[in-house]
Amino acid sequence: MSQTAVKATPRLLKPKVKQTLFLSLLSVFAAIWILPLIWMFSLAFSSNEALQISTNSLTPVDPTAENLIAVIQGGMTPRWMLNSVIVTGFTTLSTLILSAMAGYAFARIPFRGKKIVYPLVLAGLMVPREAMFIPLFLMFAEADYHNTYEALMLPRIAAPLGVFIMTQFMAAIPMEIEEASRVDGASRWRTFWSVMVPMSVPAMTALGIFTYILTWNDFLWPLVSATQREMFTITTGLASLQGNFAQATELGSLMARGVIASLPLLILFFIFQKQLVRGISIGSGGK
């Protein structure tokens, strides 16, 4: 009996020590991983004079918000942020509404032609969008529609991923819930809005946050379509400033723009991390 006790003690202890050691090691690695982000923030809050001397500090040197304030008050950055907010907001909203509507029909209404149309939509999942920007460019050029918000939004709304996600989710909602509302005499349209949409909030949050991030970060299409400076999004605008930075003179100001461009996403990410992770898993067919 005493023998087993002696044997058991180190066995119980060892994994715990190992676990702690392992987690500490992983934490060190995580700290290195996050360094580049911390560096961006600390440079953004350093004074430009201090940056002339050294750019290697991980805490703000001579801390000041002057770069941030200057960027918010002047130049094109506020306009680009506004463009991004408008384009991303409308794209996300439209994607959610149109995908939920189409998803509802595909999941619940037995209409003729569905067996042909749904596979056609699914096939769209396979289209690599980045390889298709030339014909899209020509289409909008012929209609003389470049440098507009619509041009920035419509191709992104055409993505079929949302329809796929919503169809899957709505097909899994129990039939009885919808039928109860239909028996009460509600039209399909009302049933959709008052029963199916509220029931689908989890899927729609995941889809919404995923769409928001992808749209905000779109680069190639806005680069091609919005060529006037005042129509840049923050993503293309920030890229346009990065051509030639040999010196550190602009560093603080550039990093401040980087901070401003990423803050809306980082905040959203910290609030909706779970939903985003869910969106990725469903969206890529991982389940």
By CB under 8 A, the residues from 209 to 268 that bind other proteins are 213, 216-217, 219-220, 224, 234-236, 238-239, 242, 245, 248, 251, 254-255, 257-258, 261-262, 265-266, 268
For residue 180, state whether it binds other proteins (rule: CB under 8 A).
Answer: no
Tokens of 223: 């680069």
What is the number of residues in the chain? Answer: 287
- In the block, residue with structure tokens 């003690």: 9
Q: How far apart are CA 158 and CA 265, in angstroms?
A: 23
Identify the CA nearest to 285 among candidates 170, 119, 161: 161
Look up residue 79 and give its DSSP letter: H
Q: How many residues bind other proteins (CB under 8 A)?
A: 92
- In the block, residue with structure tokens 């055409």: 158
Nearer Cβ to other proteins (64/168): 168
DSSP run (H or E) holding 3: helix 2-44
CB 105 → other proteins: shortest distance, Å? 4
Q: CB under 8 A: which stretch of 62-70, 118-126, 177-185, 197-205 binds other proteins?
A: 118-126
Look up residue 232 and give its DSSP letter: -
Residues 49-88: x/- map of binding to other proteins (CB under 8 A)? Answer: ------xx--------------------------------
Q: Do 58 and 47 contact (CB within 8 A), yes or no?
A: no
Nearer Cβ to other proteins (40/64): 40
Among 77, 109, 168, 207, binds other proteins (CB under 8 A): 109
For residue 173, state whether it binds other proteins (rule: CB under 8 A).
Answer: no
Q: Do 82 and 72 contact (CB within 8 A), yes or no?
A: no
Among 6, 12, 116, 126, binds other proteins (CB under 8 A): 126
Count Cα atoms within 13 angstroms, Cβ side, for 17: 6
- What Cα–Cα distance (Å) separates residue 86 from each residue in 42, 52, 142, 150? 29, 37, 24, 10
Nearer Cβ to other proteins (201/267): 267
Nearer Cβ to other proteins (2/34): 34
Nearer Cβ to other proteins (1/270): 270
Q: Do 229 and 41 contact (CB within 8 A), yes or no?
A: no
Among 111, 116, 198, 228, binds other proteins (CB under 8 A): 111
